Amino acid sequence: MALVALAVPTVFAFMFLAGLQQVPTPTVALNLGDEVGRLPFMGYNTWNAYFCNINEDLVYNTAELMVSLGLAQDVGYNYVNIDDCYSEKQRSASGDILANAERFPSGMRNLTDKIHALGLKTGIYSDSGWFTCQMYPGSFQNEERDAHLFNVEWGFDLLKFDNCAVPFDSIVKEGQVGKFARMSNAIKDLAKTSGKPPMLFSLCEWGRLQPWLWARELGQSWRTTDDIGANWDSLAGIINQNSFHAWASDFYGHNDLDMLEIGNGQLTLAESQSHFTAWAFLKSPLLIGTDLSKVSDQALTVLKNTEIIAINQDPVVGPGVVPFRWGINSDYTFNATHPAQYWSGQSEHGTVFMLINTLDEPADMFFNLTESPWIRWGRQYSVRDLWTHTDNGTAVRNFTAKAVPPHGVAALLLKDAGDEPQDEGLSPCAFYEWWGNPWCIDQNGTKIQPT
């Protein structure tokens, strides 16, 4: 099979590794009661299922379904977020955004009060420009007014903030960072005066100007790519792009891979599992985006996999998984069709591995345990499959996931199970350097050839 790939220059690979070592650990505020967004938020967003075709009954019925289907309190999806198209096309005479009188006749405060009464939180949408992406009023030059409206008057807990209808440079005079900082500052100032926790601020500027480098100072999540589609090509492309900055997610700040498409389009079960695993393990927010009145049992099973969700919501380890080997392609290859396949990271309960089969046919996927930086040399590990929910024996030195389905995933949790057995003819060293000479050496100076 011919694979077309853009090879990243070797010098970039070394720059990338150097960047990984220099990423600062985020400062955690001492007064955690004033903070929001320590973990990736979970919930529902209206856009992927309904686009502009929304109204107050649909939103509230969706909230009720979140509870009755066991997605809310039972699993953790606790935000119900309204996306674009909820307002009138013009602001009021006094300058406020108005909820659409036909589709939200009872008003937003009535709706948020009812959703809050279900034990859920609520989210709303606006834009950093003159208009939203569907040409409804944006928030540029109205940041303080709109933050007060959304949070204090309407009662929303989260703001998704988009990047359309950008004003002329001569008006903005701040650049992308400054344009988004206007609303960030308005939210922070409002929290100080109101005495309430700030709205969770979710930036949506599609990965322009590397938000993983600066958006943590402004909000709790930042989109990293263009909009998602309900197809494998879109999912693979998003995974590929995020492989180069997966390190940026940590407590209080997360790469946002966009809303989930599980239950939409023609995604296979294997593709849905890969989609959910990648979004969860990379510590992206998890927002359901399908019609819950018609959701299949298969989609619900994927969305309610609590073993996968536990990695996303880990209270002890903030960063997600990163690639340790690209697999089909050379390491650090940008390839939207065949992204990095072998990933690992830490968790509260052990080392997690994500193996993605990007091929159109089943494949065995092999790795040496010590390819992951989180594995201790000279130890063996128990293997837990987080999709079959089975314990799969003990791995010594390496592991092979057999017959991973096309576009499928193996999601594994490895736990330390003690010292390696000493009677199986193992080399004294599992790890060695690629240039050929044995890297392992006895204390008396004898070089050891790995076996």
Q: What is the pLDDT of residue 423?
A: 74
Question: Are the CB atoms for 126 and 96 separated by under 8 Å?
Answer: no
- Tell me the catalytic residues: 162, 227
Taking residues 419-437, report their average pLDDT: 74
Q: What is the pLDDT of residue 428?
A: 83
What digits encode the pLDDT tens for the residues 28-73?
333 333 489 999 999 999 999 999 999 999 999 999 999 999 999 9
pLDDT at 125 over 80: yes
Gap between the Cα atoms of 233 and 229, Å rounded: 8
Helices (H), 124-231: 143-148, 169-172, 175-194
Query: How confident is residue 2, by pLDDT bands cut at 50, 70 and 90?
Result: very low
Q: What is the pLDDT of residue 28?
A: 34
What digits encode the pLDDT tens for the residues 289-317?
999 999 999 999 999 999 999 999 999 99
| DSSP code, position 17 | H
**DSSP notation for 264-299:** STT--HHHHHHHHHHHHHTT--EEE-S-TTS--HHH
pLDDT at 432 over 70: no
pLDDT at 401 over 60: yes
The better pLDDT of the pair 439, 53 is held by 53
Tokens of 116: 């809050």
Taking residues 391-415, report their average pLDDT: 98
pLDDT at 445 over 50: yes
What digits encode the pLDDT tens for the residues 203-237?
999 999 999 999 999 999 999 999 999 999 999 99
Taking residues 268-283, report their average pLDDT: 99
**DSSP notation for 300-320:** HHHHT-HHHHHHHT-SS----
What digits encode the pLDDT tens for the residues 342-393?
999 999 999 999 999 999 999 999 999 999 999 999 999 999 999 999 999 9
Q: Is 189 strand, coil or helix?
A: helix
Gap between the Cα atoms of 139 and 97, Å rounded: 9
Query: How confident is residue 451, by pLDDT bands cut at 50, 70 and 90?
Result: low
End-to-end CA distance of the chain: 31
Query: How confident is residue 414, by pLDDT bands cut at 50, 70 and 90?
Result: very high
**DSSP notation for 27-76:** PPPS-GGG---SS--EEEESHHHHTT---HHHHHHHHHHHHHTT-TTTT-
How many CB atoms are located within 10 Å of the residue 1 CB?
7
Q: What is the pLDDT of residue 316?
A: 98
Q: Does pTM surpass 0.95?
A: no
Taking residues 175-191, report their average pLDDT: 97
The closest alpha carbon to 386, from 418, 342, 357, 350, belongs to: 350
What digits encode the pLDDT tens for the residues 103-117?
999 999 999 999 999
Q: Which whole-number Å values give the CA distances from 315 to 6, 150, 311, in the listed order?
A: 37, 29, 9
Question: Are the CB atoms for 272 and 46 separated by under 8 Å?
Answer: no
How many CB atoms are located within 10 Å of the residue 254 CB?
31
Task: Name residues whose C-beta falls within 8 Å of residue 277's C-beta, 6 or more positions apart in sequence.
Answer: 308, 354, 386, 387, 409, 411
Q: What is the pLDDT of residue 382?
A: 98
